[in-house]
Structure 1
């Protein structure tokens, strides 16, 4: 008999599933403190949470029987996924359950912002009949810019079409063919901003997308445009948006998310007359709440029973010889995918995965899934896992091929990933890039080649990838800049192209350099490119 603890409020349909499961006994205990959860968790095989429970490393360590944590919803910031993985605990979430609700809420914010619904409602509630003060604008015939063209972005696009809108989109990781299928036109970010009457955000929050909408990008937007954010609060610089509203550069802003939730009184957007704001209601529909509850219950039951699962955000090592063999290859594969995406300059057209090993037949599929996870993890809304990564790649029109034991190699256990890009400056290199890695003794992983530059580098922690002219003094200049910013170099590996007089460095750092350090490195005359990636 499996025991499950439900520590946050869960929809009745999900509880009903647990109630009728013949092999499950469950308790609902909400509002537990961390100490209370630590004391209780040792009796349970599964834990179901929402946003109200924080699953720390201490909680996980106390769960001697714990096999799975199910998050009803998308965000897993309240779960220590790294600690869970180390302890063999599967972490699940339910990103697809919220998609329709979020898309519809986006449309609600678009319409409410365009027609001054919030302001006119307040006026009516105060007994004021002020029709002339709240003349709005129509969606019909206008251009909607969609930043991020994943599931939610595409659903918003479909709904906006029904209002007679023209759709332009920005997503560097979606092929044009996928956009065309939904009637959207893919453009560069600046072009989307310049041509759109309405702009809506549907991107994940990463180092690259933090404050994507800022003073500079707002200045590129059409005067009087309307902005909507139902994705992540950190995508916009809230102070810059407030300034744009005050200057009538933006007509209105509709938002469901904030950099800090709940927002405090210092947030310049709270109470602003041109802002329609809701308290993170994107997933708050009866249907979404029901679907979230059912999906998390189904997935937790499947994980406990050993059945296939589709919502895992990590892969727990199950033990055994096969797992011991595969795990280091899959971990290296994911890091190869991350390296490829860190160097991306366009959308992915195709991917070739090759494994050279005596166990290649057993390794090829999990290795391919690992590479896809690394490639897509930072650009797909919701978490990517080894199960859904191939499906997500297929949805984006990415062609994938796999091969085993082809060609000669200096390494017994080598993985290679060749990515062909649809656009970008990498087109000069035949629109493709190859990254290869090797596993030594079935435990130690190394990156051994990037686009013909050969070295053996440790794929862990913060890594600075740097392309530079192969001339004297570069190492000293880079070391001086990093030292000035208090960043220690742990290891420096370098590959050379003697014909082109270029070098590619793979520099392991003890800490993350700040943006100022990276900009200073990029300004060095000999440095062509500097990219930071965390592996």
Structure 2
């Protein structure tokens, strides 16, 4: 049973889901120092759950090491997470990117309407005892041009709702095609064109090094005179000082802002005193329905990660769609076990790993298989945790070159993974597939071997001559070692041959030397593979 620490408020449904499977503690809003102490206490924690306030950086990860393996973020944004530090530490970060989509899109439309119809100002006037109908003439959304910067899940939801208001929708997103944008009632354009043409501009991109300050002085100056700007994404994307200046001198007609560069909003923020603004305290995801969905979605991702499965919403690891995972999972484990076997059979250092995905498995993204193979190869030879999160990084740091290819040719198998470690005459080549959901070896350096990849295995290279199998079996029997299965293969009659002998008992150094002394044995090695699940 894993241990999970919840450090920020999460919907009860999410907490219940986690607590139903693992030991779960809720310790909310701890000061930074107390949180670091809590992470280091006792035997540590396997998972940490945060939302949007906790800064997960190298210091926190060090305090939680070596046990912490998962950080669950109960929101879509991960800008408070040092992803590079988490990746280096082999800590998987998962989030909940779909749970708040509807809430954020509806909040965007609510702010848009509130701004154009001057609803907050009218409400405040009425409460002061005034009746100033003529002071609050608004504008309609219909036939206005909306520019959406970032057509992800939330941007698409905003586009569909804007189309229902009969708005013309432009979108800028470098990762989409014009056809994909059109499916959501939007016309794809470049950012300069969007800024010039849009009456209303709304931002829906994540906060990254590339998007920080994305809407600055130059972009605001390029906007249509009298346009309005909304940000329901992340603080820091819009230059708040430049925005305040544009509102103050009347170049922009208004702004609706839900997120700020400093949260809680700084007392000296330039946006506090400028006119024609609607400001809300990061409420985009603040609906009961969204919080429930986000809590459950995050909890599901954490549980998958703790079970050893890379979940669909892993932020810093190759993810696998839920519908694909059952088909791909046996081959991910196959990649790991082939690598463990190759590492133990290798006679020297290696700097090249080649993977070939053949047959049906070639239609899928091979990244999960690749990272599993790298973990199996590298974890025992480094002092850090190596897993799907940081395997590529560790491989690069160690100078290991990775080559991946796909092919349709897998006969007689439906799917086949081939792993080659090293190059030249010292290289080792193994192929495997999955039988009844279990990883199976199919060949080793050209020898056809059909064996399950688990447990203790004696691997021999020998001359194909009478008596060898019996002599090895007798040596094992005299030592009290039981054979559970034996695969024998040869390249030609009276030529090179191989035995792959799975045993139930340990093979010590003395017994291994006795096997090597059998007439006709060229080499014998003992390898240890993970036990069958």
Q: How does 1:18-417 map to 2 (within 5 A)?
A: 18-19=18-19, 21=20, 23-41=21-39, 42-61=43-62, 62-315=64-317, 322-323=335-336, 358-361=354-357, 414=403
**Which residue is 1:458 aligned to?**
none
Note the C-alpha offset of 1:108. Answer: 0.8
Report the 3-state secondary structure (helix = DSSP H, G, I; strand = E; otherwise coil) of the residue aligned with 2:357.
Answer: helix
Moved more, 293-302 or 72-81: 72-81
Report the 3-state secondary structure (helix = DSSP H, G, I; strand = E; otherwise coil) of the residue aligned with 1:259.
Answer: coil
Note the C-alpha offset of 1:209. Answer: 3.1
CA distance in 1, matches of 2:235, 2:56: 23
CA gap 1:86/1:205 in 2 versus in 1, 3 angstroms: closer
CA gap 1:239/1:183 in 2 versus in 1, 3 angstroms: same
Structure 2: any 5+ residue segments left out of the alignment? 319-331, 341-351, 371-387, 390-399, 407-419, 424-533
Moved more, 135-144 or 233-242: 233-242
> Is 1:6–1:47's contact at 8 Å kept on the other side of the alignment?
yes
CA distance in 2, matches of 1:97, 1:230: 15
CA distance in 2, matches of 1:323, 1:39: 35
Report the 3-state secondary structure (helix = DSSP H, G, I; strand = E; otherwise coil) of the residue aligned with 2:87.
Answer: helix
Structure 1: any 5+ residue segments left out of the alignment? 328-355, 372-385, 388-410, 418-438, 443-535
Report the 3-state secondary structure (helix = DSSP H, G, I; strand = E; otherwise coil) of the residue aligned with 2:121.
Answer: helix
User: Could you report, residue by residue, the CA deviation over 1:368-410 in whole angstroms, capped at 9, with x for unpaired residues?
Assistant: 6899xxxxxxxxxxxxxx99xxxxxxxxxxxxxxxxxxxxxxx
- Computing the radius of gyration over CA atoms, which structure comes out larger, 1 or 2? 2
> Is 1:109–1:276's contact at 8 Å kept on the other side of the alignment?
yes
Number of aligned positions between the proteins: 353
**Which residue is 2:14 aligned to?**
14
Moved more, 73-82 or 231-240: 73-82
CA distance in 1, matches of 2:339, 2:108: 42
Note the C-alpha offset of 1:82. Answer: 3.0
CA distance in 1, matches of 2:127, 2:339: 64
User: Could you report, residue by residue, the CA deviation over 1:47-87 in whole angstroms, capped at 9, with x for unpaired residues?
Assistant: 22223433343433334432222111123333333333333
User: Could you report, residue by residue, the CA deviation over 1:131-172 in whole angstroms, capped at 9, with x for unpaired residues?
Assistant: 111110000111111111111111111001111111111222
TM score, norm. by length of structure 1: 0.59
> Is 1:148–1:169's contact at 8 Å kept on the other side of the alignment?
yes
**Which residue is 2:4 aligned to?**
4
Note the C-alpha offset of 1:291. Answer: 0.9
Report the 3-state secondary structure (helix = DSSP H, G, I; strand = E; otherwise coil) of the residue aligned with 1:258.
Answer: coil
> Is 1:263–1:270's contact at 8 Å kept on the other side of the alignment?
no
CA distance in 1, matches of 2:265, 2:369: 38
CA distance in 2, matches of 1:80, 1:173: 24
CA distance in 1, matches of 2:165, 2:132: 27
Note the C-alpha offset of 1:230. Answer: 0.9
RMSD: 3.4
CA gap 1:324/1:81 in 2 versus in 1, 3 angstroms: farther
Report the 3-state secondary structure (helix = DSSP H, G, I; strand = E; otherwise coil) of the residue aligned with 1:295.
Answer: helix
TM score, norm. by length of structure 2: 0.60
CA gap 1:76/1:183 in 2 versus in 1, 3 angstroms: closer
User: Could you report, residue by residue, the CA deviation over 1:401-460 in whole angstroms, capped at 9, with x for unpaired residues?
Assistant: xxxxxxxxxx9954699xxxxxxxxxxxxxxxxxxxxx9969xxxxxxxxxxxxxxxxxx
> Is 1:92–1:311's contact at 8 Å kept on the other side of the alignment?
yes
**Which residue is 1:447 aligned to?**
none
CA distance in 2, matches of 1:133, 1:159: 28
User: Could you report, residue by residue, the CA deviation over 1:289-336 in whole angstroms, capped at 9, with x for unpaired residues?
Assistant: 1111111222222222234511212239xx999459989xxxxxxxxx
Report the 3-state secondary structure (helix = DSSP H, G, I; strand = E; otherwise coil) of the residue aligned with 2:131.
Answer: coil
Report the 3-state secondary structure (helix = DSSP H, G, I; strand = E; otherwise coil) of the residue aligned with 1:44.
Answer: coil
